[in-house]
Amino acid sequence: MTWKMPAEWAKHERTWLAWPAADYAQEEDAFLAWSEVANTAAEYEPVTVLVNERHLATAKKYLSKEIELVVCELDDSWIRDSGATFVVNSETNALGAIDWIFNGWGAQSWSNYELDDKVASFMAQKVNAEIIKSDLVNEGGGIHTNGSGLVLATETVQLGSERNPDWSRAEVEAELNSKLGTEQVIWIRRGLTRDYETFGTKGHIDIVACFANEDTILVHDQQDASHPDNSVTHEVIARLEEQTRANIIRVPAPNLLKDDLGFVDYSYINHYILNDAVLLCAFDDPIDQVAKGILEDVYPGREIRLIDARPIFDRGGGIHCITQQQPQIAAR
């Protein structure tokens, strides 16, 4: 059976999120940020939020009554990474759910992931999707596909010793292509600098570059030479130009360079495409409106909704990291 991951801009059946579960996220600003993403998404399509039973009452206070709440034991709330990667079989019109091995972003010492490694199969069972098991350690934030044969990935993620030490590059490529229905893996060497610090993912692609359509790639553009991601930008663009003929559009980074912990990885690339809208990370920065204008051009017909993503980034990710799309199955 041939499976294929549709592009994110393909029609959705629903959007999935996971309510803040870890102790570090039990704070008002996190509740407000996660709920704003979920409630805004619910204006455009059905939304399902997974929630620990002990957090159910809190979630109900913040979330729209239109949102479906499903009790599921969770370690954390990054459903893009721990949740199912949904795929579709065009011949049978079946819905599949890839269950990658999830090991807490490379078995990091601070990460608890025993419960989260079961989330993908839980989601699949909830919507009667066929579970497609993979032996590859991978996360949804580590891949981005155009739905037409290409997938973006990062060498320090799938090829890193913390995830798949016994896999060759050819074996990783074969597994990604087999499960996603792609034909070519486009590799960048590394991700943004902050992502290699203690609580990072070691280089997720979805904060660096993403497809906006079959032939267009948006790239994080750190223009300030004092920021270490300035050199990362140049390297990423060079690697993409070597491997693809896609139209590459630079999306400037916010003006803010540092927070209390050092250089930030604030990025507009980590947005989420809904059926008729795009949820765009905002940072109370003048470049917010510049990024909004770029996305209005590349996603015509979709409303660009700005959401303050700083509380999400403060905890290690962005809007794309806390969402997961379930594609709509065509009527037979």
What does the block give as tokens for 301?
């017909």
**CA distances (Å), 79 to each of 32, 117, 287, 317, 332, in order?**
17, 11, 28, 11, 30
Catalytic residues: 321
Question: Which is nearest to 39 in space by CA: 14, 75, 65?
Answer: 65
CB within 8 Å of 38: residues ≥ 6 apart: 15, 17, 47, 49, 63, 64, 67
Residues in the chain: 332
115 burial type by CB count under 10 A (0-12 exposed, 13-18 middle, 19+ buried):
middle
Q: What is the Cα–Cα distance from 19 to 126, expressed in whole angstroms?
A: 17
Could you give phi then psi for residue 119, rounded to 5 degrees?
A: -65, -40
Q: Which amino acid is at 28?
A: E
Chain-centroid distance of CA 118 in Å reads 18
Distance CA 217, CA 303 (A): 20
φ/ψ of 219, rounded to 5, equals -130, 135
Residue 326: φ, ψ to 5°? -110, 115
**Whole-angstrom Cα distance, residue 30 to residue 302?**
26
Residue showing tokens 């090829």: 159
Strand partners, 97: 86, 131
Distance CA(181)–CA(149), nearest Å, equals 7
